Structure 1
Amino acid sequence: MKRPRIAVAGFQHETNTFAPIPTPFETFKEGGAWPAMKFGPEVTETLSGLNLPMGGFLDEGDDFDIIPILWTFAEPGGYVTDDAFDRIAGMIVDGVKQAGSIDGVYLDLHGAMVTQSHEDGEAELLRRIREATGPALPIAVSLDLHGNMSREFFERASSVAIYRTYPHVDMADTGARARKLLREELTRGIPFAKAWRQLDYIIPIQAQSTRREPGGRLYAMLPGLASGAVSSVDFVFGFPPADVTDCGCSVFAYGTDQQAVDAAADTVIAALQSAEDELHNPLVPATDAVAKAGQLADSASKPVLIADAQDNPGAGATGDTTGVLAALVDGGAQQAVIGMLWDPETAGIARTAGKGAEIDVAIGGRFPQLGTGPFKARVRVEALSDGQFTFTGPMYGGAHASLGPMAALKVLDRDCDVTIVVGSNRTQNADQAIFTHMGIDPTQQAIVVVKSAVHFLADYEPIAETVIFAESPGANPCQLDRIPFTRLRKGVRLGPNGPAF
């Protein structure tokens, strides 16, 4: 029996439609927390062994002949430009055509891509691939837990595997599950029976962590549902800061018997409905968060962690708002570090001045429409970095960071002890190496503030006394009933037990 020939490609973007920064083609080329755009053999050479779906797919067995096309990722941000989407989608479609006679396709996608012209970028990509391959070719897809999925996407994909952890420590495992589903479909020779369900309320991103309940038990139930006639059951929690019709949670089930697959999907939807009252995670105003952190730090043996959740670059925010920073300084925080603020200009000024120099800076706040302006202070340059280092935490671990010039700046002209880490390429702080590679040991701080929403928990929560989620201006709005949605489907509720749209 000949080995199946499988074309593989990755095209990942999480689009925050409220973010002020569009996502052009150049951003996909750059890399940052993840590798830069890779083509052909570079895909297998670079991604094998990494905690990415493509890495897991490639490493799961040796029973396919792999035809790698491309893999690309851009830091979450605003709308993907039509130019970027058309160019990358075009390269993938051309690669599928040039692969010749193939038995299937694997796509490493996100699930929340929105382009200037398409609410569901993944569905449009699949439509274009289907135009080239026809409707019958098996197409297996892996998705981020934060996908906003449409029926059109569901109908065009043959099978879907979705992350089951948030923080996403199982990305490679998800790619491996996608390969197993593709292998099963190819072995059986007939399409899966499949089911799709959509939840009637949107879940706040701060309530979605699988390190908390009910997220932990909801995802833990999924493996037990895959038995007998059911091959796989998964669900996306959804990505709230996206003004699209299908924003929110949906369930995917696959197997050999339609009745069994439908029952499994219904079981998950019922569990999500039953958990509605638990899916709340209110934020604490920044000034209160800093005050509480200071009080706890006085008697704590570990650092108190504050998440600047609404300015999380990992959800498309700018990473440069200064609300929590100002609260730290105004509150007289001691032995505190905050990072990473996206500010290439300040990083460049610090690099020119040199380590030990005292300089006047205006940090961040370049998007006043988000509610904060620059933070002005006199600082001392404590450390400098070129932003090239290896991540060490469970999510990014092993990946090479390329964050551009970075600086650690100690505030001098205020009654506080606060160090600010700034960098040139926007990314969320989900890995201690962002601090440690600059000589800052988070375990020796009283207060640690990260620009992240949930991913930081995997690497930081084990070293923390407690975690406080702060409410401060940013482009990742977490209070769902305050988000100016215009395109949601009628009747979906804005948060658990929230008002209907």
Structure 2
Amino acid sequence: MTYRVAMGGFLHETNTFAPTRATYADFVQGGGYMPMVHGDAMFSACRGINLGISGAVERGREGDWQMLPLLWAGAIPSAHVTQDAFEHIADALVTRLSVAGPLDGVFLDLHGAMVCEHLDDGEGELLARVREVVGPSVPVVACLDLHGNITARMVEMADMLVGFRTYPHVDMAETGRRAAEGLEYLMTSGTPPAKAFRRLDYLIPIPWQSTDLEPAASLYARLAELEGEAVISASLFMGFPAADFNECGPSLVAYGPGAKAALEQLATEFAEAEARFAGPVFSASEGVAEALQRVKAGAVGPVVLADTQDNPGAGGDSNTTGMLRALIEADAPDAALGLLVDPESALNAHAAGAGASLAFDLGGHSGVVGDGPYHVTATVETLSDGRLVAQGPYYGGASLNLGPSACLRIGGVRVVVTTHKAQLADREMFRFVGIEPETTDILVVKSSTHFRADFTSIAAHILICLAPGPMAFSPSDLPWKHLTPGMRLGPLGDAFHPVD
């Protein structure tokens, strides 16, 4: 039987404490995702890259589905999605859906942590609008990010929610495939499965959510073990711990006759793992000093420092200067930092030309407390138009456009300055301006975890560093107002209680 399936996507991870909001133009540009696409263009745009929609489309082709493309849009994490952007994109998606004709199913590639200027639960609202169009009997399945803050409304409006199982997210396309397989199961059976949903009770710092580390590695391995005849699908969502609304936090979702029992088992294991979500962290100066010491001791490969609090994958603008200052003040002899997003400095470098030496006020333009522009004299080492193909496991062959870019050198420190924002999670994001990451002693990456996908294999050591930035390492450092009372602000941390 050939199934008629509507397919689309709308992704944003919202840090409500971040300095910059997501506009419609940000979704058009993509910022590390593929640019916005409508209709049939979606199929060619997503082919062969690591996105949920890509895996779902591939599975649909194998199943000989008649796929009806709606639209796909994603923007790099930031503060709230503007009302204009949400309504424009949601209306376009739902309008296309309403004229698609009779459907056997709907597949949506979502994130799960979208907060808008005018509503807290972006995905719940979108799913409700989709459900209003297709009615109660057409199965609706969504592929979601591991960091989704899953709401009761999302669970109610979708027949199945399927989450990533890796962080770094090297399984985005694979998760889209699994979600599409779940949709085919529902279309074939004709009966929605039993649902089980539970919100968990402590927030986890982003770097310790990595499935390359314990205890997350073991917790996610359990999901596949529990799936079978009685459990069609099980997902653990770590949550995105920087979205100030009532339903922020980790959660579990399972489907099938054994869903409730599986959920109880997973919740117990999550509770028992709490104390193990921990690890060492360094200030900017401590991290650089430790890296220099390890280089001096004979580190084989680069020492990688994660500038986690300015991670653009979590709402940072990728322009704070704390780590750069620490490198220069320590007179690091062989170091590189990226990406520093500063359109004006990139433009000035291009105007001056390669080989020129001039003064820059680098970065620091987002008003982050404790940060500001860094006045330095630098040599323009190389220039680029910012176009590259990121071949590593996270981006998975995506074409990126970082806009006019430059490599600036200050002593032994090189800085990758770009016009557009993207998380540095691929070695090509150093190479495109002439920096060879494998042979550089110290690499500073504006990322929390996704960089591990392409850098762990070459890194002698990985250190988590804390310089001023909008994505607090510890959720307890954020000025929460609307979180669920009693939610603990970190593993073994204090419970949140709102101040009247």
Q: Give 3-state SS (helix, strand or coil) of 2:33's partner.
A: coil
Identity score, percent: 44
Report the equivalent of 1:283. 281
Q: Counterparts of 1:191-210 in structure 2 under 5 Å?
A: 191-210=192-211
Cα displacement (A) at 1:282: 4.4
Say if 2:368 and 2:470, in contact at 8 Å, map to a contact too. Answer: no
Q: Counterparts of 1:235-246 in structure 2 under 5 Å?
A: 235-246=236-247
Match of 2:477 among 473, 477, 482: 482
**Paired letter, 1:404:** G
Measure, in 2, the Cα distance between the counterparts of 1:173 and 1:308. 28
Measure, in 1, the Cα distance between the counterparts of 2:367 and 2:124. 34
TM-score by length of structure 2 reads 0.97
**Paired letter, 1:291:** A
Report the equivalent of 1:447. 442
Q: Give 3-state SS (helix, strand or coil) of 2:173's partner.
A: helix
CA displacement 1:58-117 (0-9 Å, x = unmatched): 111233110001011101111000110001110111111110111111000001100011
Q: Counterparts of 1:91-106 in structure 2 under 5 Å?
A: 91-106=92-107
Cα displacement (A) at 1:368: 2.9
Say if 1:206 and 1:281, in contact at 8 Å, map to a contact too. Answer: no
Report the equivalent of 1:272. 270
Measure, in 2, the Cα distance between the counterparts of 1:305 and 1:127. 43
Cα displacement (A) at 1:265: 1.1
**Paired letter, 1:440:** I
Report the equivalent of 1:320. 319
The count of residues paired between Structure 1 and Structure 2 equals 493
Report the equivalent of 2:68. 67
Measure, in 1, the Cα distance between the counterparts of 2:313 and 2:485. 28
Report the equivalent of 1:84. 85
Say if 2:368 and 2:469, in contact at 8 Å, map to a contact too. Answer: no
Measure, in 2, the Cα distance between the counterparts of 1:282 and 1:163. 26
Measure, in 2, the Cα distance between the counterparts of 1:455 and 1:337. 18
* Unpaired stretches in structure 1, ≥5 consecutive residues: none
Moved more, 287-296 or 41-50: 41-50
Cα distance 1:395–1:369, how it changes in 2: closer, same or farther (>3 A)? closer
Q: Give 3-state SS (helix, strand or coil) of 1:174's partner.
A: helix
Cα displacement (A) at 1:231: 0.8
Report the equivalent of 1:262. 260
**Paired letter, 1:101:** P
**Paired letter, 1:381:** V
Instruction: Indicate whether 1:32 and 2:27 are aligned.
Output: no
Q: Counterparts of 1:283-322 in structure 2 under 5 Å?
A: 283-298=281-296, 299-322=298-321
Say if 1:430 and 1:452, in contact at 8 Å, map to a contact too. Answer: yes
Q: Give 3-state SS (helix, strand or coil) of 1:500's partner.
A: coil
Cα displacement (A) at 1:435: 0.7
Cα displacement (A) at 1:230: 1.0
CA displacement 1:242-271 (0-9 Å, x = unmatched): 11111111111011x2xx110011111111
Measure, in 1, the Cα distance between the counterparts of 2:381 and 2:276. 44
Report the equivalent of 2:173. 172
**Paired letter, 1:242:** A
Instruction: Give the root-mean-square deviation of aligned CA atoms.
Output: 0.9
Cα distance 1:460–1:345, how it changes in 2: closer, same or farther (>3 A)? same
Instruction: Indicate whether 1:329 and 2:328 are aligned.
Output: yes
Measure, in 2, the Cα distance between the counterparts of 1:492 and 1:444. 44
Measure, in 2, the Cα distance between the counterparts of 1:39 and 1:281. 44
Report the equivalent of 2:116. 115
Report the equivalent of 1:372. 371
Moved more, 24-33 or 332-341: 24-33
Say if 1:56 and 1:174, in contact at 8 Å, map to a contact too. Answer: yes
Measure, in 2, the Cα distance between the counterparts of 1:393 and 1:150. 32
Q: Give 3-state SS (helix, strand or coil) of 2:456's partner.
A: helix
TM-score by length of structure 1 reads 0.97
Measure, in 2, the Cα distance between the counterparts of 1:242 and 1:273. 22
Say if 1:321 and 1:370, in contact at 8 Å, map to a contact too. Answer: no
Q: Counterparts of 1:360-399 in structure 2 under 5 Å?
A: 360-399=359-398
* Unpaired stretches in structure 2, ≥5 consecutive residues: none
Cα distance 1:282–1:487, how it changes in 2: closer, same or farther (>3 A)? farther
Say if 1:49 and 1:59, in contact at 8 Å, map to a contact too. Answer: no
Report the equivalent of 1:437. 432
Q: Give 3-state SS (helix, strand or coil) of 1:370's partner.
A: coil
Report the equivalent of 1:133. 134
Say if 1:306 and 1:468, in contact at 8 Å, map to a contact too. Answer: yes
